[in-house]
Amino acid sequence: AQSVTQPDIHITVSEGASLELRCNYSYGATPYLFWYVQSPGQGLQLLLKYFSGDTLVQGIKGFEAEFKRSQSSFNLRKPSVHWSDAAEYFCAVGAGGTSYGKLTFGQGTILTVHP
Amino acid sequence: NAGVTQTPKFQVLKTGQSMTLQCAQDMNHEYMSWYRQDPGMGLRLIHYSVGAGITDQGEVPNGYNVSRSTTEDFPLRLLSAAPSQTSVYFCASRVLHRRQGGYGYTFGSGTRLTVV
């Protein structure tokens, strides 16, 4: 069965500092990987996704993530955090290929940004 | 396209009451699913459907029923609401990118349900 672990429940950074949110997945074959962001009381917004090819993926709002198969990781990074980045972030894994695989989410990481 | 539309946005139920959360999409997506979101637990899959007339259970199906009579609609029914079903519910549909590979999900804006 597929699973996702986000080890950090809550992260606090200062505005302008760099950010890395960790994501580890478990899946038997090639995974499809996603990062979503959710502002309080809002729905989910896709930041970026990885299906194949270049393991460094660029997303919206200046975010990027790197797929490392050997470490089963898909960590999200941003070089300089803005106050508007404060939100909850979810990593998710889905089945690769063309199967009707389900999307499994991690527990989420809440990001607080200090001015 | 309106995307994925969920109604209602908010609902308060008494224990034992029944209700249906509505979900509709106008993108002709075959795959639709329901998730519930609880603090510290991320989103967990309740039920999903790969097309009209076909549904299956996800990770947390107990207490919920679904049906898929049309491609557009995928309602979620709570037969006898319990306080443990207090949650935020998200409906999602999925499109396969057959040429470039992969797929994309479209989420609704959610239904916040409180059972007292």
Residue B64 has what pLDDT? 98
Identify the CA nearest to A51 among candidates A105, A92, A1, A2.
A92
Residue B1 has pLDDT above 80, yes or no: no
Kindly state whether B103 is in contact with chain A, defined as any CB-CB distance less than 8 angstroms: yes
Q: H/E/C letters for each residue in chain A?
A: CCEEECCCCEEEEECCCCEEECCEEECCCCEEEEEEEECCCCCCEEEEEECCCCCEEECHHHCEEEEEHHHCEEEEEECCCCHHHCEEEEEEEEECCCCCCCCEECCCEEEEEEC
Q: Compare all CA atoms of chain B with the CA of A107 and give the residue at the minimum distance.
A: B42
In this predicted structure, which of A11-15, A52-56, B12-16 has the lowest mean pLDDT? A52-56
Query: With an 8 Å Cβ cutoff, are A100 and B102 in contact?
Result: no
Residue A97 has what pLDDT? 56
**B6 with B106: CB under 8 angstroms?**
no
Give A76→chain B minimum CA distance, Å.
17
Place of tokens 């672990």: A5
Residue A31 has pLDDT above 90, yes or no: no
- Nearest-by-Cβ selection for B40 from A100, A103, A107: A107
- Nearest-by-Cβ selection for A9 from B40, B92, B102: B40
Average pLDDT over residues B3-10: 96
Which residues in chain A have their CB less than 8 angstroms from residue B46's CB? none
Q: Which structure tokens are listed for B111? A: 């239904």
Identify the CA nearest to A47 among candidates A18, A76, A4, A16.
A76
Kindly state whether A30 is in contact with chain B, defined as any CB-CB distance less than 8 angstroms: no
Cβ-based neighbours of B19, under 8 Å, separated by 6 or more: B11, B13, B77, B78, B81
Cβ-based neighbours of B39, under 8 Å, separated by 6 or more: none
Give B19→chain A minimum CA distance, Å.
22
Kindly state whether B101 is in contact with chain A, defined as any CB-CB distance less than 8 angstroms: yes
In this predicted structure, which of A105-109, B74-78, B99-103 has the lowest mean pLDDT? B99-103
Give residue B2's pLDDT band: very low, low, confident or very high (50, 70, 90).
confident
Give A99→chain B minimum CA distance, Å.
10
Kindly state whether B88 is in contact with chain A, defined as any CB-CB distance less than 8 angstroms: no
Instruction: Write the CA distances from A44 to A68, B62, B106, integer angstroms.
Output: 24, 24, 9
Task: Compute the mean pLDDT over every residue in chain B, rounded to the nearest whole number.
Answer: 94
Kindly state whether A99 is in contact with chain B, defined as any CB-CB distance less than 8 angstroms: no
